[in-house]
Structure 1
């Protein structure tokens, strides 16, 4: 017999408290998780409100942690970070607040270090292909095009 696990409202609240305590989550991730648990819309609303009231769920805190993590660990630029936050239905206001977590000097320092490190690893004799590979790499990571093209031209 293939039975589907069901959850009481209290079980769902406890599970989602743990889910949010483990790492910062956004509303969309929480709702998706509850939907996968086959919770009805009314129950989803109750659990989300509970998480908000007890500070397990905080969109601004999530966005700030996301920005710091993706910038420091994955070396993403602001454009990629913004795109990924929009995919998580984070508001433009919260995104702009969160992006202030990145110091401008640290941002440029990280960009230059990443570009130079990558440039050193590109095994390509054709200078145009080399430039394209570096530019594509940096643009994919969400660095602003004016920074990318200035750096690519300065390096090659």
Structure 2
């Protein structure tokens, strides 16, 4: 389990799931979790911050999509809110603007309102907030 946690940051749910594959008794699982926590191989805040940075700066996901995926990994809302400061506000706005510009320029043969509508839907599917998208559109004109 140490090697599993060393390879990349893991959350509790991932470690628990991996241990279920080994069919360990409950006491052994608890001992392993305690050891991983004590030796700092398992750190929920470090995992959350790393996950947020990766999904935003590499995959260009918005905060909503990141939040939803972290909730699926059983990370608490409080932890998510604390760690979302990993995303710089200027970088966030620049990313929305860049994706907006790229996507809308690829829309051919559509009316202006159709391009705008499709682009808004696309950005929302990427997890960006509607208010930020509208703000980006206003600044884009």
TM-score between both structures, scaled by the size of structure 2: 0.91
8 Å CA contact retained: 1:27, 1:59: yes
Distance 1:154 1:106 in 2: 15
Aligned to 1:38: 23
Residue 149 of structure 1 deviates from its aligned partner by: 3.3
SS of the residue 1:74 aligns to: coil
Distance 2:115 2:137 in 1: 9
Structure 1 gap segments, 5+ residues each: 1-15
User: Aligned residue pairs: how many?
Assistant: 141
Counterparts of 1:1-150 in structure 2, within 5 Å, are: 16-150=1-135
* Greater mean alpha carbon deviation, residues 98-107 or residues 62-71: 98-107
Structure number with greater CO (CA < 8 Å, separation at least 6) is 2
Residue 41 of structure 1 deviates from its aligned partner by: 2.3
Distance 1:142 1:37 in 2: 35
Distance 1:53 1:35 in 2: 21
Post-superposition Cα deviations, 1:22-56, rounded to whole Å, max 9, x if no partner, equal 11100000000100222222221111111101110
Residue 150 of structure 1 deviates from its aligned partner by: 4.1
8 Å CA contact retained: 1:17, 1:56: yes
Distance 2:87 2:139 in 1: 24
8 Å CA contact retained: 2:93, 2:136: no
Q: CA RMSD in A?
A: 1.7
Computing the radius of gyration from Cα coordinates, the structure with the larger value is 1
Residues 54 and 143 (structure 1), Cα distance of their counterparts in 2 relative to 1, 3 Å cut: same
Aligned to 1:5: none
SS of the residue 1:105 aligns to: helix
